[in-house]
Structure 1
Amino acid sequence: MFTLPHHVEFLSQRWIDEARRFLAGEHPKFRERQAPAERLRGRAFSASGRFTDAPPHMKLPGDVGCCTIRFDGQAFAVSGSFDPGADLVVEGDYQAALTGAQMVGIAAPGALQTLRRETAHLYGAEALTVRGGLADPAVRGLLESLFDHLGRMTVENPDLAHRAARQGLSQKIREMDAQGYTIVENAITPEFADEAREAIVRTLAAHGYTTMNWMLYHGRVFERLALNPLLMTLIDASLGRGAVIGSLSCIRKPAGPGFIPLHTDYAHVPEPYPDFAMTGVGVWAFEDWTEASGPTVLLPGTHRMRREPRRGEELDAGVPILMPKGSVVFFTQGVWHWQGDRSEAGDRITLHSHFNRGILRSLEAKKIDAQMIWRNPPRLGEMLGEDDWFEKTTAEGRDYGRYAYMRELLAFTEAGRQRILAEGKAAGPAAVRTRETTPA
């Protein structure tokens, strides 16, 4: 419903049809070698999945998505049904499974373990369960190729209200609307936070800088951070779908006074600022943020001022952002902020994921790396401007297909945001749901 022709929604009929097409050997890459059935002749197996609480717009029976792949040794059969007796059975929450299904590169060393670790961290250890297995390496290799093929095509759940509820972020979106920022604690595992910090330190040292832009192009870890599903949900709720990377930058801040003064992130935006967000920034913590570590400091509610701060404005109401390692603070809509002083030893290492509403230009020029697009889900292409109609004009005219797609997706997303805000007002201040709440 909400896809471009070359994309699919997880467990939709088009997704199942694409799996069938791949296994039938109709994918162009397979034309260079034997079709899957020929390669696996005589090796019968089955795999099946069943995932509850699918988004209502998909109109799946009972909001349950299913798929079964069966090979009898001669031919493949792919259906939208569930077989609890299959050799490999995966069950769980639809949104958790979708997050896993968007990962590409499942055959890489440690990739499956990373997928299961990060998915369990985001959605809970019981969000996905696996029974049985497939011992034949050739069978596993084929299913890994299918997994990657579908991952390159599978879009995020377009129902913002449904997705935020499954991720435990509905209240965070309300906080963001009220105060201009919100904190998502433990958005990644401590292990991933350490990996990202090490990658930033290594990259800065290699180039001899203390700050750098274009970090997306310096390793797989930065692609994974840019695609973090919790941060993406906050970006969608603030900037709408089609938001593009403004800059992906890192900062190495030594002990001492902060060197970034009070400001907003609205460069060249005339006052009064619009009453909707133009930009938003997610700042990642790769150590515990305490007052001594020199955290970002924000002035809650200043996004309602709709202007930049004046010289000598009162700063006493500033709130230092305190959060554990692996967390992200997202601030938006021109909220006032500055860099705090660091009194503890060592460097504070941060990554700043700066996104712009899709109609704006970016600080960083967009570079479309075909290999990067190939090893990631469609969401990465969206944040590089591949899904909108801007800069797509040819001699034959404008890309009205992309225009219609994004117009529909933006409207659906905004309707979801308004539903989240309305539900919060109806429930009153007692209805607080945090990220620590396990999705129902």
Structure 2
Amino acid sequence: MFTLPHHIEFLSDRWVEEGRKFLVGEAPKIRERPAPAERLRGRPLSVSGRFTQAPPHMNLPRDVGCFSVHFDGEAFAVTTSFDPAADLVIEGDYQAALTGAQMVGIAAPGAFRTLRREIDHLYGPEALKVRGAIADPMALEVLSGLFDHLGRKTVENPDLAHRAARQGLSGKIREMEAQGYTIVENAITPEFADEARETILRTLSMHGHQTMNWMLYHGRALERLALNPSLMTLIDASLGRGAVIASLSCIRRGAGPGFIPIHTDYSHVPEPYPAFAMTGVGVWAFEDWTEASGPTVLVPGSHRARRHPRSSDDPGAGVPIVMPKGSVVFFTEGVWHWQGDRTEAGERVTLHSHFNRGILRSLEARRIDEQMIYRNPPRLGEMLGEDDWFEKTTAAGRDYMRFNYMRQLLAFNEAGKQAILAEPQAAAPTKSARRAVPA
């Protein structure tokens, strides 16, 4: 119900079957070389996983998903059972494991270490536990190929309410609905923030600019950042599934007055604005944001005005967004905002992940880079418009398969959002939320 034919849900029967097809050599990707069993002949191995708190719509026994891969030296067996005695055993939370299962390029230098670091950071060091190991280099090559093959097809958990709860974001979604924005503190590690910052500065220097668009195409770190699970959940709660990149832009600025005045991000949208979000922006902090660093300033609740700010409006209600390095502020529904003045030395470097509801056009011209699609999970294709039916009409007619898929996905996503909004509010915001989002 919630996948296109070439996509699969983590630990579903189709996911397990796709793994079996790869290992017996039926996947098109490996037809031009010996099948895995031929490459591993005489080298037995076993890998197994067990993951709890799976989304209810998958109808897994006790909401627990399992898999096992056994190779006896001659043939593979792939099942939905769990083998605690396997050579390599992985156990933990379904949503954390799904984030890992969407990684492509696991065999690249440092990739597994980086993946494990970010998952531990997002979900906690106890979310995934690994014991045992596979030491055989040829076996690791085969398993890496399997991991990548499945990662290219594995979709995000479509149950928004379940996913947000496992990520600790339900309260952030309610806050976003009330204030028009929310902050996810420490959404990435400081190491990842440094990597993204360095990539942006290198790109700006190479092209001789202080600001640039089309940043998705300038480095693997920026592809990974665009797919950040926390930001994707906020985008789904605001814009629905199928939201597309409007622009992925960066700004490098030094000390001095802000050069972006008060505005909304609703270009040519007639007033009054619609009573649902048309666009949303996540701004990433690659240094600590303080009031002196020239942060983005937002007016809480201004989205309810449903219009552009006027010269007569009092901007004194603006709140400077204060957050630590590696955090992201997401604002939506035409919230009024501007760039604050920077009084401290040094530079502020930001990436602006601007998304539009899937029925709208993008600000940037979309480019479909086949290699980039191949090295990422399906969510990247979704944000580039690959999964909806727009711009896919041919002489033979419209793409009703994608139409029906997205119709079902949007409805399921909206039901999840309404379930989140119906939950009781938390008793009190955190210390950091009180500082950034006044009552």
Scaled to the shorter chain, the TM-score interval is: over 0.9
**Residues 103-152 of structure 1, C-alpha deviation per residue, up to 9 Å, x if partnerless?**
10000000000010000000000100001011110001100000000000
Matched-pair contact (CA < 8 Å) for 2:171–2:426: no
Q: Which residue of 2 aligns with 1:386?
A: 386
Task: Give the equivalent residue in structure 2 for 1:430.
Answer: 427
Paired with 2:430 and 2:291, the residues of 1 have a C-alpha distance of 26
- Listed as ranges, the gaps of 5+ residues in structure 1 are none
Q: Kindly tell me: are residues 274 and 157 of structure 1, through their superposed partners in 2, closer, same or farther at Cα, counting changes over 3 Å?
A: same
Distance (whole Å) between structure 2 residues aligned to residue 318 and residue 418 of structure 1: 28
Shift of 1:29: 2.4
> 2 CA distance for matches of 1:295 and 1:255?
12
Q: TM-score, normalised by structure 2?
A: 0.97
> After the TM superposition, which of the residue ranges 356-365 and 27-36 deviates more from structure 2?
27-36
Aligned to 2:23: 23
TM-score (norm 1): 0.97
What SS is found at the alignment partner of 1:292?
coil
Mapped to 1, the partners of 2:313 and 2:199 lie a distance apart of: 38
Please list the CA deviations of residues 267-301 of structure 1 after superposition, one character each: whole Å capped at 9, or x if unmatched. Answer: 00000000000000000000000000000000000
Residue equivalent to 2:335: 335
Alpha carbons 1:169, 1:434 under 8 Å: kept: no
Partner SS state of residue 31, structure 2: helix
Q: Which residue does 1:311 correspond to in 2?
A: 311
Shift of 1:433: 8.3
Shift in CA distance, 435/171, structure 1 to aligned 2, threshold 3 Å: farther
- Equivalent residue for 2:370? 370
Q: Is 1:345 aligned to 2:342, yes or no?
A: no
Is 1:229 aligned to 2:229, yes or no? yes
**How far apart, in 1, do the equivalents of 2:121 and 2:430 lie?**
17
Is 1:194 the counterpart of 2:174? The answer is no
Q: Which residue matches 1:322?
A: 322
For residues 384 and 34 of structure 1, the distance between their equivalents in structure 2, rounded to whole angstroms, comes to 34
Distance (whole Å) between structure 2 residues aligned to residue 295 and residue 432 of structure 1: 21
Indicate if the aligned counterparts of 2:105 and 2:111 stay in contact, CA closer than 8 A.
yes
Could you tell me how far apart the structure 2 residues matched to 1:223 and 1:34 are?
Answer: 32
Asked if 1 retains the 8 angstrom alpha-carbon contact of 2:237 and 2:417, the reply is yes
Contact in 2 for aligned 1:3/1:9 (Cα 8 Å): yes
| Alignment partners' CA distance in 2, 1:151 and 1:11 | 12
Quote how far apart the aligned CAs of 1:312 are. 3.1
Matches within 5 A, 1:105-120: 105-120=105-120
- 434 and 387 in structure 1: CA distance in 2 versus 1, 3 angstrom threshold: farther
2:182 aligned counterpart, secondary structure: strand
Runs of 4+ in structure 1 over 4 Å off: 431-436
- 1:97 maps to which residue? 97
Aligned 8 A contact 1:168 1:434 in 2: no
CA pair 99-163 structure 1, distance change in 2 beyond 3 A: same
Letter in 2 for 1:370: E
**Residue pair 1:170, 1:433 contacting (<8 A) in 2 also:** no
Alignment of 1:232-311 (within 5 A): 232-311=232-311
CA distance in 2, matches of 1:194, 1:267: 32
Structure 2 unaligned blocks of 5 or more: 434-439
**Matching residue's letter, 2:100:** G
Equivalent residue pairs, number: 433
Partner of 2:437: none
Q: Is the contact made by 1:160 and 1:413 (CA closer than 8 Å) also made in structure 2?
A: yes
Indicate the residue corresponding to 1:158 in structure 2: 158
Q: Is the 8 A contact 2:171 2:425 kept in 1?
A: no
Letter in 1 for 2:339: Q
What's the counterpart of residue 73 of structure 1? 73
Is the aligned partner of 1:42 residue 2:42?
Answer: yes
Once the two structures are superposed, residues 306-354 of structure 1 have per-residue CA deviations (whole angstroms, 9 ceiling, x without a partner) of 0000013101110000000000000000000000000001111000000
Question: Contact 1:118–1:189 (CA<8 Å) still a contact in 2?
Answer: yes
- C-alpha distance in structure 1 between counterparts of 2:426 and 2:141, whole Å: 51
Equivalents in 1 of 2:159, 2:432: separation in Å? 19
1:282 alignment partner, SS class: strand
